[in-house]
């Protein structure tokens, strides 16, 4: 069997094995937006409910003005059966979410009202049913949001919630210099944080003063109250009064969303600095320090200090500034991360490459388990949910560069979770990519005929790599039967074009390799990557036609 | 699993071989019936226990074979050369269904041309040759 056929066989085997998560993902979004009841689970009997949700969402999507008819047409052309899911992914993104064109009218229940409620809910500003009419229960949350963002225009403020970077910048500008030192109480810190080691120290104070230098008044106030070495003469009335302040909770929410979107947090988005939140902050600091030896290390003790009696202070301004510096450092895409990983893996010695292969296979298995778990989702476990948006997640991974391969081999704590999340994301899109790949290779091998059955008789068409084609059409077929076959041929021909473009991408990538990677999971990543790159080209084509 | 580099070399060789044959394009449309045994469509289990995924190829070859050809009648055939020369054969007397088939045949030519263009684009992309 040739190497090519062996890869084809492996691809087909994977295709049969890969969990199909589209349905679970779609249902989750429907539940989030109130198109399905929160307790809805897929059962044969529940099919009608799901169909009703499909119909309602489609109707609302068309009426919403969120996409122009041309954009919707483009989504349909590109994503066919999964176009509703793709539309939802764009709408539920917190990095570059689709901007709402207008605020809903009072009393309106629509996709717009649901999205406003959902975005407020994620940031802890709304705690009612997402499908309630707009303008009642959401008023207090919108008012709070105006206060937090300093924006008087509700539409601008709600759209900012779907742009995490913009929101962070805005919050830092408005509140970072006055309220960025979060005082909180925690009964059980993570076992990895010894409170006594984190007693207030000069490094924390110096950093706080630097971050607050634009606000001398606040600096003075904090100096009197909490910025005191060894916690001498702390102002406990200040501490008690400020613990759990609403603006602090909003800061913590934002940190949790950052951590969640970076693949480092799977706890609840609740605005509480609990052990899991604090633990994830500790992880991100460790990962930052391990990833690039050329960068100055971060020191958690400069951002976190223990005040006593279970009270702590966290310099959120500094922490969020680090996120913003990272985000300003460019926009590494998924494609760059995968290419980086493949490039460095390609250069390993055969023995190390075997270890690397075993680890990536393990990642793949674990990711598949996660996805199976996800499809059993979700009642009573609010935030093992899919995050839409890739910028911050892949930026976080891209920092690792060459060290990503070592980290996989030694199963680096912290990064492993992110990598597992990456594999989950890849697998979610892998079925379509693999199918396109398999069809492309079969086309090259001359093994891809198209047969359709109409009126109990089979018609056949084949296009060959040279461009030759032939058809055999049953004598008994009506014009309608032939029409159906013709439609199938057109779809088939479009599919072939797509598959060949994708193979071209893959071959171009393979030309850059020195040795030739052997690990199947990495090849899968690259296939998915090629698929996405071609999808982007198609998107550009449809945008200009 | 075989390494990607070898597979890529196979793939490129395969494409290069085919491209050499692509100086002309042939499209044929037949009318007729062919019988396919269900067993030929389902993957056959081989001696080593693996399943032959491509048994459909046997179906194709059986259709092309002289034993089955007698059941098929050619409705249209086109030969298009790269220099633009074109030859067409169309059955002389066409019934209603066959007229529809001639329309379908034209669409198959378009599809074939697009498919070949996709191959040319792919090869050109690999060699970084601009295409129009």
What would the pLDDT profile of B70-121 be if each residue is shown by its tens digit?
A: 467 888 888 887 777 778 888 888 888 888 889 999 988 888 888 888 877 8
Which DSSP category does A448 fall into?
-
- Determine, yes or no, domain membership for A106: no
Percentages (nearest 5) of helix, strand, coil residues in chain A: 65, 5, 30
B residues 64-103 lying closer than 8 A (beta carbon) to A: 72, 75, 96-97, 100-101
CA distance A423 to B72: 50
Digits of tens for pLDDT over chain A (545 positions)? Answer: 577 777 888 888 888 887 777 787 888 889 899 999 877 776 767 778 889 999 999 999 999 999 988 888 888 877 777 889 989 988 988 877 889 999 999 999 999 999 999 999 989 999 999 999 999 899 999 999 999 999 999 999 999 999 888 898 898 888 877 788 889 998 888 888 888 888 888 888 988 888 887 778 888 888 888 888 766 788 889 899 888 888 899 999 998 888 887 777 778 888 888 888 888 888 878 777 766 666 666 788 888 999 888 899 999 888 888 777 655 555 556 777 777 788 788 878 888 888 888 888 888 888 888 777 765 544 434 434 555 444 555 666 666 666 778 888 888 776 787 778 778 877 777 888 888 888 888 877 776 778 888 777 888 888 877 778 888 888 888 888 888 888 888 888 888 888 888 888 888 877 777 766 656 788 888 888 888 888 877 766 655 54
Q: Is B118 on the interface with A (CB under 8 A)?
A: yes
Backbone angles phi, psi at A402, to 5 degrees: -60, -35
Same domain, A525 and A380: no
Answer yes or no: do A497 and B100 touch at CB < 8 A: no
How far is B20 from chain A, CA to nearest CA, in Å? 8
- Determine, yes or no, domain membership for B7: no
CA distance A278 to A288: 16
- Determine, yes or no, domain membership for A468: yes
Answer yes or no: do B115 and A504 touch at CB < 8 A: no
Mutate to test the interface with A, among B115, B120, B121 (most CBs of A within 10 A): B115
Partners of B100 on chain A (C-beta within 8 Å) are 479, 482
- Determine, yes or no, domain membership for B1: no
Same domain, A390 and A521: no
Q: Which of A269, A298, A328 is the last residue of a domain?
A: A328
Nearest to A504 among B9, B36, B125 (CB): B125
Beta-bridged to residue A462, according to DSSP, are A449, A470
Same domain, A490 and A436: yes
Q: CB of B72 within 8 A of CB of B30? A: yes
Same domain, A178 and A296: yes
Beta-bridged to residue A116, according to DSSP, are none
**Count of residues for chain A?**
545
- Determine, yes or no, domain membership for B2: no
Total H helices, total E strands in chain A: 24, 6
Domain count, chain A: 3
ipTM of the complex: 0.74
- Determine, yes or no, domain membership for A130: no
- Determine, yes or no, domain membership for A482: yes
CA distance B112 to B132: 18
Residue with tokens 């590109």: A78
3-class state of residue A299 by DSSP: coil
Same domain, A368 and A455: no
Instruction: Choose among A509, A34, B82, B121: nearest CA to A517.
Output: A509
- Determine, yes or no, domain membership for B22: yes
- Determine, yes or no, domain membership for B50: yes
Same domain, A201 and A251: yes
Partners of A6 on chain B (C-beta within 8 Å) are 1-2, 7
Same domain, A217 and A241: yes
Sign of CA dihedral A474, A477, A483, A485: negative
The two three-digit tokens of residue A307, written as one number: 């005040």
Compute the radius of gyration of chain B from its Cα atoms: 19
Q: Which of A328, A350, A380 is the last residue of a domain?
A: A328
CA distance A90 to A395: 19
Q: Which of A302, A328, A354 is the last residue of a domain?
A: A328
Partners of A449 on chain B (C-beta within 8 Å) are 56, 59-60
CA distance A444 to A466: 9
- Determine, yes or no, domain membership for B8: no
Q: CB of A459 within 8 A of CB of A475? A: no
Same domain, A348 and A406: yes
Nearest to A472 among B30, B100, B121 (CB): B30
Domain count, chain B: 1
How many Cβ pairs closer than 8 A exist between chain A and B? 176
**Count of residues for chain B?**
132
The secondary element (H helix, E strand) that includes residue A184 is strand A181-185
Long-range contacts, stretch A236-242, CB < 8 angstroms, 24+ apart: A239/A183, A239/A307, A239/A311, A242/A183
- The alpha-helical segments, DSSP class H, found in A347-390 are 350-376
Nearest to A470 among B11, B28, B31 (CB): B28
Same domain, A484 and A380: no
Partners of B5 on chain A (C-beta within 8 Å) are 510, 513, 515-516
What order do you get walking across the sheet with B86-90 strand by strand? A449-454, A457-463, A469-473, B24-32, B72-81, B86-90
Same domain, A178 and A318: yes
Partners of A517 on chain B (C-beta within 8 Å) are 3-4
For residue B48, the enclosing domain spans 15-127
Interstrand relation of A457-463 and A469-473 (parallel, antiparallel or unpaired): antiparallel
CA distance A212 to A394: 30
- Determine, yes or no, domain membership for B3: no
The secondary element (H helix, E strand) that includes residue A4 is helix A3-17
Same domain, A345 and A372: yes
The two three-digit tokens of residue A4, written as one number: 């090519």
Q: CB of A138 within 8 A of CB of A117? A: yes
- Determine, yes or no, domain membership for B31: yes
For residue A266, the enclosing domain spans 167-328
Backbone angles phi, psi at B77, to 5 degrees: -140, 135
CA distance A396 to A337: 10
């Amino acid at each position: 069997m040739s190497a090519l056929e062996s890869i084809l066989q492996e691809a087909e085997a994977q295709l049969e094995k890969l969990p199909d998560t589209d349905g679970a993902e779609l249902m989750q979004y429907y539940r989030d937006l109130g198109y399905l009841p929160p307790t809805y689970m897929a059962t044969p009997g529940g099919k009608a409910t799901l169909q009703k949700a499909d119909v309602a969402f489609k109707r609302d999507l068309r009426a919403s003005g969120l996409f122009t008819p041309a954009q919707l047409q483009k989504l349909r052309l590109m994503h066919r059966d999964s176009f509703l899911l793709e539309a939802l992914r764009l709408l539920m993104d917190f990095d570059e979410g689709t901007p709402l064109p207008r605020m809903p009218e009072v009393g309106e229940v629509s996709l717009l009202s649901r999205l406003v409620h959902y975005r407020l809910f994620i940031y802890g500003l709304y705690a009612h049913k997402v499908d309630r009419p707009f303008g009642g229960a959401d008023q207090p949350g919108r008012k709070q949001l105006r206060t937090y963002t300093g924006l008087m225009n509700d539409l601008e403020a709600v759209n900012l919630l779907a742009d995490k970077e913009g929101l962070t910048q805005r919050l830092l500008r408005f509140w970072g210099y006055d309220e960025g030192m979060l005082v909180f109480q925690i009964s059980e810190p993570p076992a990895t944080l010894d409170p006594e080691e984190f007693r207030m120290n000069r490094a924390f104070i110096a950093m706080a003063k630097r971050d607050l230098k634009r606000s001398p008044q606040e600096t003075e106030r904090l100096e009197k109250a909490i910025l005191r070495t060894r916690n001498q003469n702390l102002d406990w009335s200040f501490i008690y009064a400020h613990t759990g302040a609403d603006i602090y909770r909003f800061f913590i929410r934002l940190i949790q969303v950052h951590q969640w979107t970076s693949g480092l947090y799977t706890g609840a988005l609740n605005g509480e600095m609990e052990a899991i939140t604090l633990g994830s902050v500790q992880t991100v600091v460790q990962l930052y320090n391990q990833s690039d030896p050329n960068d100055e290390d971060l020191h958690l003790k400069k951002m976190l200090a223990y005040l006593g009696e279970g009270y702590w202070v966290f310099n959120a301004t500094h922490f969020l500034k680090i996120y913003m510096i990272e985000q300003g450092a460019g926009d590494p895409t998924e494609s760059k991360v995968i290419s980086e990983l493949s490039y460095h893996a390609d250069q390993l010695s055969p023995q190390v490459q075997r270890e690397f292969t075993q680890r990536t296979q393990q990642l793949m298995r674990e990711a598949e388990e996660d996805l199976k778990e996800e499809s059993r989702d979700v009642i009573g476990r609010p935030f093992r949910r899919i995050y839409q948006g890739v910028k911050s997640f892949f930026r976080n991974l891209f920092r690792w560069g060459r060290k990503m391969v070592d980290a996989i081999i030694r199963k680096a704590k912290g990064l492993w979770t992110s990598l597992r999340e990456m594999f989950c994301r890849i697998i979610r899109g892998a079925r379509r990519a693999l199918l396109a790949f398999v069809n492309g290779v079969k086309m090259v091998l001359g093994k891809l005929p198209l047969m359709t059955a109409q009126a109990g008789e089979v018609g056949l068409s084949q296009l060959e790599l040279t461009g030759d084609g032939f058809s055999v059409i049953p004598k008994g077929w009506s014009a309608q039967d032939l029409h159906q076959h013709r439609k199938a041929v057109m779809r088939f021909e479009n599919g072939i074009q797509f598959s060949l473009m994708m193979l071209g991408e893959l071959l171009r990538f393979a030309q850059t390799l020195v040795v030739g990677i052997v690990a199947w999971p990495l090849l899968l990543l690259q296939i998915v990557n090629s698929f996405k790159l071609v999808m982007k080209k198609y998107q550009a084509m449809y945008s200009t036609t | 699993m075989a390494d990607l580099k070898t597979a890529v070399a196979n793939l490129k060789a395969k494409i290069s071989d085919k491209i050499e044959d692509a100086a002309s394009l042939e499209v044929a449309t037949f009318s007729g019936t062919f019988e396919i045994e269900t067993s030929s469509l389902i993957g056959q289990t081989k001696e080593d226990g693996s399943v032959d995924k491509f048994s459909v190829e046997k179906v194709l070859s059986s259709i092309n074979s002289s034993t089955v050809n007698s059941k098929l009648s050619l409705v249209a055939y086109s030969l298009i050369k790269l220099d633009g020369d074109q030859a067409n054969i169309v059955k002389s007397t066409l019934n209603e269904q066959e007229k529809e088939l001639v329309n379908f045949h034209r669409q198959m030519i378009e599809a074939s041309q697009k498919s070949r263009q996709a191959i040319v684009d792919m090869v050109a992309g690999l060699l970084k040759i601009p295409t129009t």
